[in-house]
Every structure is written in C-alpha cells, then in structure tokens.
C-alpha cells in the first residue's frame, strides 16, 4: 500500500507539471458549462456555494457532456509592507520591507477523468523560495445510491493533506484568509492539523453524505520517505509514525435562502520530533468544531460567516528526551470571519483570530499566544456572464491588512508585525 501511495502521487504530479500543450483543455467552469460564480462566492474562490460543494463531493465529475480534460494555470503576485522593518530580512534575496514578488505560478489538472473519478492536482513554482513543488492533491471516486429511500453519495479520496478534501471553508486548507504573505512575520504556534502536514503526507479514506444532511469521513495519513519528499519539493517535513487517523462529521441544512452547517473534525498524530526516530514518537490529538452560515438574497448578494475552534493536546515524551520540551503541551486556535459579497464582484471580509498555548521554549520558542484581526477587500471583475473581460481570463485583486494585538506572547511591539498585503490572481484555462 505504501508503494502504491508513492507511485500514484508521483504520477499525478508529473501529469500536472508536464502535460503536453496539444492536450491542454479548459478549467472546471468550461467542463461544467457554468461560470465560476456558480461554484464560488465572489466568482473566484475558494469560498464555495452549494453547487460548488456538490461538485467537489461528487468527485469533480459533473460535465456538460463535452470531452474535457481540464488544465489551467494561475499566477499570484503581491506587495508586502510591514509596520516595522524585519530583522533579519523577510527572506533571502528580499529587503527588510516593501517587497514585491511573484508568490507562485501554478498548473492545475482539475476535473473528470472518468464518469466517477475526478482529480484536483497542483504543481507550483514558489517565487519566494525559487523552487518547484507539488501543491494540493485530491483524487476522488464518487457514486450515488439510496438508503432508507434517501439519496446517498459515497466515495473515496486520495489526498496530500488533512482538510484539503473538505467541502467547507471552515477548515484550515481552504479557510480565510485564502492567501497570506510569504514575506511577513507569522506566529510560531500552530496545531498539527492546521496546515503543518500539507504536501508532507499522503492519505487514503472514504466518505459518505446522506440525504444532503449528514456527512461522515474517515482517512488515514502516513509520511512519504525523505527522498520522495525532496523530489516533490517538500522541505522541512514533519514525519509521522505509521498510519494516523483523520475524521470529519457534519450536519447541513438549507432553508429558503439560508444555509447552515455544524461539524467536527480532528486527527490523532504520532510524530517523530525533528524527524528523529531514536527517542520514539510524540502523540498529538487535535479535536475541532466548526460552523458556517450563508445567506444569499436579492439574487447576487451573499452574507457568510465561518468559525472553527481547534484544541490540541500533546504528549511529548519523545520531545522531552530529545529537546528538553515539557512532557505535555496544549494549544488552542480560534478563528471566526464574516464576508459580504455584492454581485459576485465586491467582497469585504473581516476575521478575528486567537491562539493560546503552553509557554514551552523547546516546542514553540516561547509563548505561542497570538491574536488579532484581518480585514480584506476583494474585487473580481470576471467569472460572471456579464464580465467585461474575456471569459477565458479570471482575475482577482485583494487588499488585506493584518492587525496583531498580541504576537508570540507579547503585546509590546506586536503592532510592529502588522502587515499590509496587496495581491492579484490571474487564472486561465489552457485550451
């Protein structure tokens, strides 16, 4: 099974990165025959509509009947300004402040492979680290039947990070902020499930949704070997011990123009500290709850709210022996954000975030306590039927500001980390 994981992951990456131009085809929107606004609030993403969640649930296979093998490209450029100059500089080759960069350039193989199998695979050039790597991967099989006279969707997912496959914008992989500066300071404390394993692991699992109401999923994740991670461009990998379970459950309901979801997700992870196996493994348990709400009114106005709370408890006997860390730590992360979208073109976002944990120098470098606000204004002139730009071009511009009230345990000079982030996305189908 481990060999099968590795071969499949490497094959999909190669396909995403080296697809021949003669086989280049349209993106998700052209596969379905729908504008981007059908799947995404704000016409760009990743914020999903009900249609977008169903499209992902059913394995990216919905099609208008044409012969599509979707391939697309994306570029993200940005400018970052922090309230105070950074020392050391933001990154090798960049200045202490006021940096413009190509954040990333990506190729996507994203769409139906058969009637029941679809894929979302990404290859990335990182403009800050100046290297190539694989990005998000979600290969799905999905089918439908009935249970107790109600519709039942069931499927399997092979992916490379917990929550990459999730349908809701509450979990880490596709939660707000949908982009952040690679050249700005970031808090030191992060729960395991909060993106630290992305592109470091592969997972295989099954899911089901009954009566458009109850969603259940169970996956198991394991680490790739260091040589494979190096070949895939993944650096500073966290190494898991064996198979590690991830779970997801959610209840959802639509009533009129309103939609609500309540759920839980989590992971039990056995991790070798600093990828060193000599001292055994630490055992981390992440347990999270989440909720989301969407109200679409006057046809093209959407008010949405998303919240998640993650509690991580750590048994760190191995880190204690190797690094002198405490034998146990805890970390709590809370995020809640609200967005308001007008005509799938203009979106205002605001988020409150707070992280609180044990002051452990060996594990977190000190106190992980950080809190603040994020505000963002988005403008998406494309992705709708009445866009004035060509239908094959999808563009988004954003102005984001991060305001820290506490940073790594300190209030003093926390505002020095405040960040102004200007960014733009350009996405095109390769046809």
pLDDT of residue 285: 98
Alpha carbon distance 418, 403 (integer Å) = 5
What's the CA dihedral at 416, 418, 419, 420 to 10 degrees? -110
Gap between the Cα atoms of 179 and 423, Å rounded = 9
Interatomic CA distance for residues 125 and 231, integer angstroms: 14
Peptide bond before residue 46 is cis, with ω within 30 degrees of 0: yes
Q: What is the pLDDT of residues 111-148, one digit of tens each?
A: 889 999 999 999 999 999 899 999 999 999 999 999 99
**Pairwise CA distance, residues 289 & 109, whole Å:** 32
Domain count, the chain: 1
Contacts for 275-280: CB closer than 8 Å, 24+ residues apart = 275/226, 275/237, 275/238, 275/239, 276/322, 277/239, 277/241, 278/322, 279/318, 279/319, 279/321, 279/322, 280/317, 280/318, 280/321
| CA atoms in the 13 A half-sphere facing the CB of 373 | 6
| Residue 70 contacts residue 192 (beta carbons within 8 Å) | no
**From CA 32, how far away is CA 21, in angstroms rounded?**
21
pLDDT of res. 431: 62
Tokens 């006279």 appear where?
A: 149
Secondary structure class of 115 (helix, strand, coil): coil
Domain encompassing residue 345:
2-429
* Residue 226 pLDDT: 82
- With beta carbons less than 8 A apart as the criterion, state whether 118 and 111 touch: yes
* Backbone phi and psi for residue 55, each to the nearest 5 degrees, phi listed first: -60, -45
Contact status, residue 25 vs residue 76, Cβ threshold 8 Å = no
Alpha carbons 426 and 320: distance in angstroms, whole number: 47
What tokens does 252 get?
């959802």
Q: Which residue in this structure is represented by tokens 């006997």? A: 317
Task: Give the SS3 label for residue 251.
Answer: strand
**Whether the predicted model's global pTM rises above the 0.85 cut:** yes
The pLDDT assigned to 8 comes to: 43
SS3 labels along 316-368: CHHHHHHHCCCCEEEEEEEEEEEEEEECCCEEEEEEEEEEEECCEHHHHCECC
pLDDT at 68: 67
Q: What pLDDT does residue 388 have?
A: 76
Q: Residue 99 is part of a domain; what is its CATH number?
A: 2.40.160
CA angle 373, 379, 380 (to 5 degrees): 130
From first to last of the 431 residues of the chain, give the pLDDT tens digit. 444 444 444 343 333 333 333 322 234 776 777 878 888 898 887 899 999 999 999 999 988 777 766 788 989 999 999 999 998 888 899 999 999 999 999 999 888 899 999 999 999 999 998 999 999 999 999 999 999 999 999 999 999 999 999 999 999 999 999 999 999 999 988 999 999 999 999 999 999 999 999 999 999 999 998 888 888 887 766 899 999 999 999 999 999 999 999 999 999 999 999 888 889 999 999 999 999 999 999 888 999 999 999 999 999 999 999 989 999 999 999 999 999 999 999 999 999 999 999 999 888 888 999 999 999 999 999 878 777 777 667 899 999 999 999 999 999 999 999 999 999 999 888 76
The pLDDT value recorded for residue 5 is 42
pLDDT at 236: 66
């Amino acid at each position: 099974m481990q060999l099968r994981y590795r071969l499949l992951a490497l094959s999909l990456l190669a396909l995403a990165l080296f697809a021949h131009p003669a086989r280049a085809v349209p993106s998700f929107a052209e596969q379905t025959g729908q504008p981007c606004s059908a799947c995404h609030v704000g016409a760009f993403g990743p914020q999903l509509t009900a249609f977008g969640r169903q499209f992902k649930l059913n394995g990216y296979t919905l099609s208008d009947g044409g012969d599509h093998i979707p391939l697309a490209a994306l570029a993200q450029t940005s400018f970052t300004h922090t309230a105070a100059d950074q020392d050391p500089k933001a990154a090798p080759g960049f200045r202490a402040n006021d940096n413009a960069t190509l954040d990333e350039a990506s190729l996507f193989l994203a769409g139906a492979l058969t009637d029941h199998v679809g894929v979302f695979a990404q290859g990335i050039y990182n403009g800050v680290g100046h290297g190539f790597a694989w990005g998000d991967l979600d290969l799905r099989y999905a089918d439908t039947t009935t249970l107790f006279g109600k519709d039942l969707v069931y499927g399997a997912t092979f992916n490379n990070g917990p929550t990459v496959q999730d349908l809701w914008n509450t979990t880490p992989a596709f939660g707000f902020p949908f982009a952040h500066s690679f050249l700005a300071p970031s808090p030191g404390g992060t729960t395991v499930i909060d993106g630290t394993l992305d592109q470091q692991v592969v997972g295989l699992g099954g899911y089901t949704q009954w009566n458009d109401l109850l969603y259940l999923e169970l996956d198991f994740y394991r680490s790739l070997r260091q040589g494979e991670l190096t070949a895939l461009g993944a650096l500073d990998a966290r190494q898991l011990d064996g198979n590690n379970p991830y779970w997801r459950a959610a209840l959802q309901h639509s009533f009129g123009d309103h939609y609500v979801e309540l759920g839980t997700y989590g992971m039990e992870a056995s991790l070798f500290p600093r990828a060193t196996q000599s001292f055994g493994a630490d055992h981390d348990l992440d347990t999270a709850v989440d909720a989301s709400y969407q109200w679409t009114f006057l046809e093209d106005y959407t008010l949405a709210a998303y919240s998640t709370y993650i509690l991580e408890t750590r048994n760190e006997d191995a880190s204690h022996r190797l690094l002198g860390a405490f034998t146990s730590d805890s970390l709590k992360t809370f995020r809640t954000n609200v967005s308001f979208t007008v005509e799938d073109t203009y979106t205002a976002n605001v988020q409150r975030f707070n992280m609180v944990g044990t002051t452990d120098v060996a594990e977190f470098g000190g106190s992980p306590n950080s809190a603040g606000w994020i505000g963002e204004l988005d403008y998406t002139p494309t992705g709708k039927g009445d866009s004035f730009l060509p239908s094959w071009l999808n563009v988004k511009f954003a102005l984001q500001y991060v305001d820290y009230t506490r940073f790594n345990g300190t209030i003093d000079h926390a505002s020095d980390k405040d960040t102004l982030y200007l960014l733009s996305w350009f996405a095109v189908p390769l046809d």
